[in-house]
Amino acid sequence: MTEFPITDNDGLVQSTCKTDEILRLLADASRRRVVVSLENVEKNRIHREQLAQRLALPHEDETISGWERALHYIHLPLLADTGLIEYDRQEGTIRHYHCERLSDVLAAVDPE
């Protein structure tokens, strides 16, 4: 199976991911929103609370605390397991890495 590089801002390969991992991550609509938000973060660093605010803001029926729980217990651990992010559970800080193939699949699946 083909592996795709996951790189930092300097283009250094941090890890790799496989097609099946990408498809598994993007199968969930909420996680797609998380990935899109992370890809739009300046300097590839954000705090969990700030990310939750960004995700809840445009949707009146969603809460920041609900997103924080989902991020902490579900979405961020899955993204960290694949190497797409570094997540400090204690501090709540997230560092996002880039995978071009993930971006390509996301654009094809959810072009908005």
- Give the global pTM: 0.90
Q: What is the pLDDT of residues 89-102, one digit of tens each?
A: 999 999 999 999 99
Q: Is the pLDDT of residue 111 over 80?
A: no
* pLDDT tens column, 9-62: 888 999 999 989 999 999 999 999 999 999 999 889 999 999 999 999 877 778
3-state secondary structure of 1: coil
pLDDT, residue 58, reads: 78
DSSP assignments along 31-43, one per residue: HHHHHHHHHT-GG
Residues 65-71: contacts with CB within 8 Å, 24+ apart? 70/30, 71/34
Structural domain tally of the chain?
A: 1
SS3 assignment, position 86: strand
The enclosing domain of 93 has a CATH number of 1.10.10
Range of the structural domain that residue 33 is part of: 3-109
